A and B are shown apart, each in its own frame.
Chain A
Amino acid sequence: MSTLATSVVQSVDWAAIAPPGIVAAAALVVLVADLFLPEGRKQPLVGITLAGLVLAGLSLLPLLDGDRSTFCLVGSPADCSYVADRFTLVVQLLVLAGALVAALLSVHTLDELPAGEFWFLLLSSASGAALLPASRDLATLVIALEVTTLPSFALVGLRRGDRLSSEAALKFFLSSVAATAVTLLGVSFVYAATGTLHLEAMAKGLQGVDPRLDTLAAAGAALTVVGFAFKLAVAPFHFWVPDTYTGAPLPVAGYLSVVGKAAGFAGLILVTVVAFRPYAHVWGPAVAVLAALTMTVGNVGALVQRPDRPRSAVRLLAWSSIGQAGYLLVPIAAAAYTDPDRQIGTTLAYALMYAAVNLGAFGVAALVGRTAPQNRLTDYRGLHGGHPLAALAMAFFLLCLAGLPPGVIGLFAKVAVFSSAVDAGLGWLAAVMAVNVVIALVYYLRWTVLLFAKPGAEPAAAVRPSGPSRPLGAAIALTAVVGIVLSGAPQLVLRFASATLL
């Protein structure tokens, strides 16, 4: 009996799977508790959500001492489906902290949104995003990706009776489902060629693939990567992003731009660098071209935004997030040419910086959105008069995104990305990125200038002082403090750029 149990029933390392597990459990608790709470008294749900996320974050601490893996194949214990190594922990930290800040941003919008559903969906999506970096077989990876994105469709369309919101959700849904279908097709091809779903084993299998199946394997690899590129809104698959972000409730847009992206990037790194390592000569140049294309499309798209259009602030952040995704791809492309460890760390360091300051920018946008529901760029004119601290914070966030001092951490994150490109010999990509940094500065700076400009003739809604709600203020303060501390000690995130993570 006991021998049967050990051979069939796996032993589960509960501590290792605690981070996504706790979030998933909190999601279920919220779902059930929502049934028993009367309408209008949903406050405890906020507490449960925040507590769940914080607890999940704390559960990362015991895992710091070393790599752990669980759900391993009984036959070959090296093939595990869930690995909690440094890479996993860093991405999980990013995901959980990002979800926490997004939750703080959402607290004040609850009057417009159905509370129970909102928190449940947010936590579900976060649990998927936390599971994703740990997955080491393609099936788990795809499932985690779907757990991350499926609740997001509902989150995007959650504003009842809002046509824009439902349209955004539909667009998001259709493009995402198409991406999943393509990924699954690719996975099935690769599985057919190698006979395994585990990433490490797949890398070995691809090296000695039957020559007759070579085309199949290569096509499978390409399709899988394309599917991930679709999810990441890499150009030319980016068209759904601006409409989805502008249609979604603002905190959800912030969540998608940070947590959604981080999860997608973790998946892409795992697929390319670990599973398809033998095909580096194929996906390396492809990712490099995609990176150049993405950053250019995103930055030019942001540059041509008209500032007086409704919701132009969020639209600009959406386009800029596409541009930033392009920078994030650069080290991944570089990983094909040199030692991948350093490059992955650079991507993570950049993602951490981007997460903090981008959520901060969304926080200030949420603050302005309280008094100016249109959230046009022109509504930010003279923000410094009404909310001096929020304006200073926003200027800092925008300059970090632009990568100019006083946003020192943004500058060093860019330096790290540039240095991976130069290190890998991708001089042309570095030059394209240099031009893009200049293009991006134009629109970030334009926005920054607006913050300090004299209030215009039209009644500027943003100037009317209306204190931020406490959670919103906390979110902005938290991200600003993280940004400032990192600017003084960039080593805190950049150390990943010199560490072995996977």
Chain B
Amino acid sequence: MNDTVLQYVLAAAVLLPLLGAAAALLPPPPGLKGKNPDQAVLRHGVTVTGLVLVLSIVLAAGFDHDNPATMQASTDISWIPALGIRIHLGIDGISLPLLVLTALLTFLCALYSYFKMPAGPSPKAFVALLLLLETGTLATFAVLDLVLFFLAFETVLIPMYFLIARWGGENREKSALRFILYTLLGSVIMLLGLLLIGLKAGTFDMVALATDNGSPLSHSTQLIAVLAIGLGLAVKAPMWPLHSWLPDAHTAAPTVGSVLLAGVLLKMGTYGFVRILLPAAPEGMQTFAPYLAALAVVGIVYGSLACLALARRGAGGDLKRLIAYSSVGHMGFVLLGIATLTPTGVNGALFANIAHGLITGLLFFLVGALKDRYGSTDLDSLAGQTGAALYGKAPRMGGLLAFAAVASLGLPGLAGFWGEMLAMFGSFKPAPGLDRGAYLVFTAVAAFGTLLTAAYLLVVVRRVCMGERDTVQAAPALADVRGYEFAAWTPLVVLTVLAGLWPAALLGLTDPAVRTLLGGS
């Protein structure tokens, strides 16, 4: 397809949700009133996110798959010449999968909410915030200007804050405030780093910075920039020990909020590492990579241990919280992959990014559905003494949960496997100049972490899916998977299997782009 057409498609995909958000606040036009105003606005949300998904699929179809390393569908117009800020949009093999993932997850969330609106104030604001969030996330992956990246990064804060604070569960306001304050502090410090790069290099353009390969930046500038930007991105990713906002936010957020938080928002952090820091400040990354890797593997083990503790009988663990901690572990693998500075590791990181988005999105959907049925996600009250026997009470639901759990623990043949394996491969043989001994230790610890991950997920499966025959007959009877739930979850299941069986589809996109960003190594 013609590049100019794609260019408009990309711009439309980013702008459409913004217009949709404004439109959601207006009264519905005469022909579209629907059964009642609430239904009309929720349908509006489904329509707009659906259109965006279609646009993103068009983008993926029109994308020149033979040249995934070159920026395609780029728009480059001057916006604020005074600060040298340009509206520079474009996609390559790294951003395209994330863009499609974002559009898909947001659409599924809108669809899910259409049938199962979270308890809280009017859906009007809910849909507007969801669409604003989508603009911010899509823009993060589509922009190629540092300050614009910061703008997009910040755009998601207010919508996510209100989604948690208004439609969330227990402790929602406190958790939401903690989320926004942590991320804002991180991102403001990130802004300082971005400005430093921009002012020293004389351009905010990511493509130009990547081509220069950091040559205009002195070594000390790169160090400061990596420290400042890395801090902001690490809060978002989240990297241990900056993760402490995440479990609370996930636990308090409504199902849709958790799905998007885990599936999309966390990726903005790791994407920033690959897109900005690797090409623009390679020397700085070289210096800090071992520390990043060390913290990443601590995160892997820490997340898994926290999950094990939560999964124990009598610990009063909350399933949502458990999955949130498991995200800390999974994102640890992503960060480890990035910290190897090798094409293998970075490709693995990007793959794990997508896989985590699909699988954890599915897990949060499932846990949300459990909460609707049981009224709680407390593992002890759910499982009782002998287990919740979901296989018996709601077989399809139990099967899906088991599927998502084994996908999450990295069963070969499913999406979770490749990313983490490649990340460890990369860490086994890190980039020249990095201390191989240290990385071997990291690899071993990370491998141990996969064992722990398998352990707690299997404990969860045993406690939730299995159980005594008596439990199956006992009240309350559970509704099995409903139609709209199938609709929302099937794409995630299919893509998880597909990515697991045919990883080349994704790696073929990312690999050339990663090699270009790493400077042809």
Contacts and interface: CB of A to CB of B under 8 A. Distances in A.
Partners in one complex: yes
Interface of A: 345, 349, 392, 399, 404-406, 408, 411-412, 415-416, 418-419, 422-423, 427, 430-431, 434-435, 437-438, 441-442, 445, 449, 452, 454, 490-491, 494-499
Contacts of B185: 434-435, 438
Contacts of B25: 392
Nearest to A498: B82
22 contacts: A404-B157, A405-B151, A405-B155, A412-B80, A416-B82, A416-B83, A419-B199, A423-B199, A427-B192, A430-B192, A431-B189, A431-B192, A434-B185, A434-B188, A434-B191, A438-B184, A438-B188, A445-B177, A445-B180, A491-B82, A496-B82, A497-B82
A400 B132 CA distance: 16
B432 interface: no
B196 interface: yes
B393 interface: no
Given A422-B195, A431-B192, A434-B192, A495 B181 contact: no
A405 B180 contact: no
Given A422-B196, A438-B188, A445-B161, A491 B180 contact: no
Contacts of A497: 82-83
A485 to B, nearest CB: 14
Contact of B158 (A345, A406, A454): A406
Contacts of A427: 192, 224
Nearest to A415: B147
Interface of B: 25, 79-83, 85, 121, 125, 132, 136, 147, 150-151, 154-155, 157-158, 161-162, 165-166, 173, 177, 180-181, 184-185, 188-189, 191-192, 195-196, 198-199, 224
Contact of B136 (A392, A405, A435, A449): A405
Contacts of A454: 121
B35 to A, nearest CB: 23
Most buried by A among B150, B151, B184: B184
B82 A494 contact: yes
Contacts of A452: 121, 125, 162, 166
4 nearest A-B residue pairs (beta carbon)? A498-B82, A434-B188, A405-B155, A494-B82
Contacts of B125: 452
B184 A437 contact: yes
Contacts of A437: 184, 188
A140 to B, nearest CB: 31
B83 A412 contact: yes
A431 B192 CA distance: 8
Contacts of B136: 405
B118 to A, nearest CB: 16
B83 A434 contact: no
Contacts of B173: 449
A427 B189 CA distance: 11
B192 A422 contact: yes
Given A419-B195, A445-B180, A404 B158 contact: yes
A110 to B, nearest CB: 34
Contact of B199 (A345, A392, A422, A499): A422
A435 B186 CA distance: 10
Contacts, number: 93
A405 B83 CA distance: 18
B435 to A, nearest CB: 30
A491 B188 contact: no
Contacts of B191: 415, 418, 434
Contacts of B151: 405, 408, 411-412
Given A405-B154, A441-B181, A452-B125, 12 more contacts: A408-B151, A416-B82, A419-B195, A434-B185, A434-B191, A438-B185, A441-B184, A494-B82, A494-B83, A496-B82, A498-B82, A498-B83
A7 to B, nearest CB: 45
B83 A419 contact: yes
Contact of A406 (B80, B132, B161): B132
Contacts of B196: 422
Given A490-B80, A491-B79, A497-B83, A411 B154 contact: yes
B427 to A, nearest CB: 33
Nearest to B185: A438
A445 B180 CA distance: 10
A337 to B, nearest CB: 13
A349 B82 CA distance: 11
A287 to B, nearest CB: 20
Contacts of A441: 180-181, 184
A175 B115 CA distance: 62
Contacts of B83: 412, 415-416, 419, 494, 497-498
A297 B25 CA distance: 38
Contacts of A418: 191-192, 195
Nearest to A497: B82
Contacts of B85: 412
B82 A495 contact: yes
Contacts of B165: 449
A494 to B, nearest CB: 4
Most buried by A among B180, B181, B195: B195
A455 to B, nearest CB: 12
B192 A494 contact: no
B181 to A, nearest CB: 6
A406 B133 CA distance: 11
Contact of B195 (A415, A445, A494): A415
A399 B180 CA distance: 13
Most buried by B among A345, A404, A422, A435: A422
Contacts of A345: 82
Contacts of A495: 81-82
Contacts of B195: 415, 418-419, 422
A121 B5 CA distance: 60
B222 to A, nearest CB: 15
Contacts of B147: 415
A357 to B, nearest CB: 16
A412 B81 CA distance: 12
B103 to A, nearest CB: 20
A418 B181 CA distance: 19
Contacts of A498: 81-83
A233 to B, nearest CB: 25
A441 B81 CA distance: 28
A405 B188 contact: no
A496 B196 CA distance: 21
Contacts of B177: 442, 445
A215 B83 CA distance: 40
B20 to A, nearest CB: 14
B150 A415 contact: yes
Contacts of A415: 83, 147, 150, 191, 195
A438 B189 CA distance: 10
Most buried by A among B80, B82, B198, B199: B82
B108 to A, nearest CB: 24
B450 to A, nearest CB: 36
Contacts of A434: 185, 188-189, 191-192
Nearest to A440: B184
A427 B224 CA distance: 10
A423 B199 CA distance: 7
A52 B196 CA distance: 46
Given A415-B150, A494-B82, A438 B158 contact: no
A365 B81 CA distance: 35
Nearest to B224: A427
A490 B84 CA distance: 12
B501 to A, nearest CB: 40
Nearest to B79: A491
Given A418-B191, A427-B192, A494-B82, A438 B154 contact: no
B37 to A, nearest CB: 14
Contacts of A435: 185
B183 to A, nearest CB: 10
Nearest to A499: B82
